[in-house]
Amino acid sequence: MKSQLSQLITEALHALHRAGQLPAAPTEVHIERTRDRAHGDFASNIALVLAKTARRKPRDLAELIRHALPSSAEIERVEIAGPGFINFFLTPAAYHAVIDSVLNQAARYGESTVGAGRKLQIEFVSANPTGPLHVGHGRGAAVGDSLARILATQGWQVSREFYYNDAGQQIHNLAASVHARLQGLTPEDAAWPTDGYRGEYINDVATAYQAGETVVADDRQVTAQADPTASDAIRAFAVAWLRREQDQDLRAFDVRFDDYVLESSLYTQGNVETTVSRLTEQGFVFEHDGALWLRTTEFGDDKDRVMRKSDGSYTYFLPDVAYHVDKWRRGFERVINEHGADHHSTVTRVRAGLQALGIGIPQGWPEYVLHQMVTVTRGGEEVKISKRAGSYVTLRDLIDEVGRDATRFFFVMRKVDSQLVFDIDLARSQSLDNPVYYIQYAHARICSVQRQLGEKGLSHDSADGQAHYSSLTAEHEDQLMVLLARYPEVLQAAAEQLEPQVLAQYLRDLAHGLHTYYTAQQFLVETSGLRNARLNLIMAVRQVIRNGLALLGVSAPEVM
């Protein structure tokens, strides 16, 4: 409806321009839904925007536009309010048509072609293969995967990618930990590596290695040599073993990836050295105290960054830049990185490095979504340690405790840049205080109405319902139709703002509307026309709830 109203105003402006009453018509007209429907369903400030150019008072220009608007069967009336806002009041038939749009388009309702098939990549999770996924990785997985699903509804060709930091000190610490366990040491021993990992999983890796097991991860297969002195073999097996465990956790979380990229491949394929050479050619590289630096301050960074340390090893910064050059060359118009808030300093320096290369990468590329930390509570007390991980709560802990649906929904129900308290007791509860249960119960309630229909020997005639939409005059019915009409706007907003909680909050509002309607009205009334119209309405609500939950990776049960 927003696009239709925008088009009507655009046509009116062109007509005024042709008549010499407007110097030029704008290329974009903004339409907003009003906060109070007493002021109409939608409003535009176009008259205020163009008043100065048109050399007219905003209200006078708004009146001109109102009179020039083409007629529309979906507009009941148009009013001018305040300093010159154009307010549109829609006919009931406009909202009745929404019900049919939902029922006819089903799973595709709310989709758009904004992305026009252009390539978009979203990188998320990207956990080091040194231990089980923790709750921060879980929040990143839920947010990243939900964004990928939502962006796909807007016409983007979305690719999901996982970047493995399989090189560096942390991997060395992992191998050293497994090696120590193979020597019979435990984390309590004084000889245990100072920076070693201490979770139970280290013992599991060592046991599997000693048994000569074969590990199959998503992109590799490694057979253990069972030699407790073969450090390279221990490292390769440990990384593969933990990657397999992370893969299993993500599958249990209904998260998949299209591509995996290894940090080590950036070295073996020469990407890192090529990037250094290009930056040097551009004149932004200098040496100081035996280290190689990049003048990132030339591109807005607060200080210059070390690329190669005095010992000859590279900092994370350089392979990060090389990795994003690879993304650019793969043809992604948009790249979105979903990371924890501890990556905040990465944003400026990676963008600065890409600009220094001078290869045509636009400013502000890539985009970043940074999520804040997760605090897990039970019984009002913070839960800090998982026995398996040794020092943190794992994603698997939450899935086992509360299930996939509650875990995914709780991770996306707050703005990503706000800290999240994950209340295990609330997530487990089967009460209307539990937001995911509240939404799923609305879906199940509608399914129960459908079952009751058959039990009472009644039928649902959708076409007859269409003929009796005029009987949908109750306040709760009107509110539900407005909510259904908002769904495409919600998807667009969630995609534009990169905020899946916009959809999560909408689903709670829609569920609330359904529960209120369920309490206030009878659906299976004797009057067939009214019954069929109401059934059409709640079936449309069920479809939108199902669509929205699917985009958040949450199921829509029919019985609860």
Q: Are residue 86 and residue 56 in the same domain, yes or no? A: yes
**Average pLDDT across the chain, whole number:** 94
Q: Helix, strand or coil for residue 14?
A: helix
Contact (CB, 8 A) for 84 and 62: yes
Q: Sign of the CA dihedral 365, 367, 372, 374?
A: negative
Q: Are residue 439 and residue 521 in the same domain, yes or no? A: yes
Q: What is the pLDDT of residue 166?
A: 85
In a domain, 447, yes or no: yes
Distance, CA of 390 to CA of 393 (rounded, Å): 9
Q: Are residue 406 and residue 463 in the same domain, yes or no? A: no
**pLDDT > 90? residue 515:** yes
Indicate the residue among 246, 271, 303 that finishes a domain. Answer: 246
Q: Are residue 6 and residue 67 in the same domain, yes or no? A: yes
Lowest mean pLDDT among 14-28, 314-328, 395-409, 413-427: 14-28
In a domain, 461, yes or no: yes
Q: What is the pLDDT of residue 167?
A: 78
Mean pLDDT across 153-165:
96
Distance, CA of 516 to CA of 11 (rounded, Å): 41
Q: Helix, strand or coil for residue 369?
A: strand
- Tell me the per-residue pLDDT of 380-425, one tens digit each, with 9 for 90 and over: 999 987 767 777 899 999 999 999 999 999 999 999 999 999 999 9
Mean pLDDT across 518-543:
96
Q: What is the pLDDT of residue 220?
A: 81
Amino acid letter, 214 = T
Q: Are residue 444 and residue 547 in the same domain, yes or no? A: yes
Amino acid letter, 308 = R
Q: pTM for this one?
A: 0.93
Q: Are residue 7 and residue 79 in the same domain, yes or no? A: yes
Distance, CA of 152 to CA of 464 (rounded, Å): 35
Angle CA 472–475–479, to nearest 5: 90
Distance, CA of 46 to CA of 5 (rounded, Å): 12
In a domain, 494, yes or no: yes
Q: What is the pLDDT of residue 419?
A: 95
| CATH (domain of 56) | 3.30.1360.70
234 token code pair: 């221990």
Q: What is the pLDDT of residue 46?
A: 95
| CATH (domain of 499) | 1.10.730.10
Mean pLDDT across 455-467:
95
Contact (CB, 8 A) for 256 and 152: no
Mean pLDDT across 353-362:
96
Please, which residues bridge with residue 288 across strands? 291
Q: Are residue 501 and residue 522 in the same domain, yes or no? A: yes
Distance, CA of 85 to CA of 41 (rounded, Å): 13
State the virtual CA torsion across 61, 66, 70, 74 in degrees, nearest 10.
Answer: 140
The number of folded domains in the chain is: 4
Q: Provide the pLDDT confidence category of residue 316 given band limits of 50, 70 and 90.
A: confident
**pLDDT > 90? residue 217:** no
User: Could you tell me whether strands 85-90 and 75-81 are parallel, antiparallel, or unpaired per DSSP bridges?
Assistant: antiparallel
What's the Cα-to-Cα distance from 423 to each of 340, 383, 394, 406, rounded to whole Å?
Answer: 20, 10, 15, 11
In a domain, 164, yes or no: no
In a domain, 152, yes or no: no
In a domain, 392, yes or no: yes
Range of the domain at 233: 169-246
Lowest mean pLDDT among 3-12, 26-35, 115-124, 384-393: 384-393
Distance, CA of 146 to CA of 255 (rounded, Å): 9
**pLDDT > 80? residue 484:** yes
Q: Are residue 485 and residue 402 in the same domain, yes or no? A: no
Q: Helix, strand or coil for residue 2?
A: helix
Q: What is the pLDDT of residue 218?
A: 77
Q: Provide the pLDDT confidence category of residue 165 given band limits of 50, 70 and 90.
A: confident
Q: Are residue 438 and residue 416 in the same domain, yes or no? A: no
State the virtual CA torsion across 420, 426, 430, 435 in degrees, nearest 10.
Answer: -30
Nearest CA to 424 among 412, 414, 410, 413?
Answer: 410
Q: What is the pLDDT of residue 386?
A: 74
In a domain, 414, yes or no: yes
Q: Are residue 469 and residue 542 in the same domain, yes or no? A: yes
Q: Are residue 199 and residue 242 in the same domain, yes or no? A: yes
Q: Are residue 546 and residue 468 in the same domain, yes or no? A: yes
Indicate the residue among 26, 60, 90 that finishes a domain. Answer: 90
Q: What is the pLDDT of residue 345?
A: 84
- Tell me the per-residue pLDDT of 225-281, one tens digit each, with 9 for 90 and over: 999 999 999 999 999 999 999 999 999 999 999 999 999 899 999 999 999 999 999
Contact (CB, 8 A) for 215 and 237: yes
In a domain, 314, yes or no: no
Angle CA 440–441–442, to nearest 5: 90
Mean pLDDT across 55-78:
94
Indicate the residue among 383, 408, 428 that finishes a domain. Answer: 428
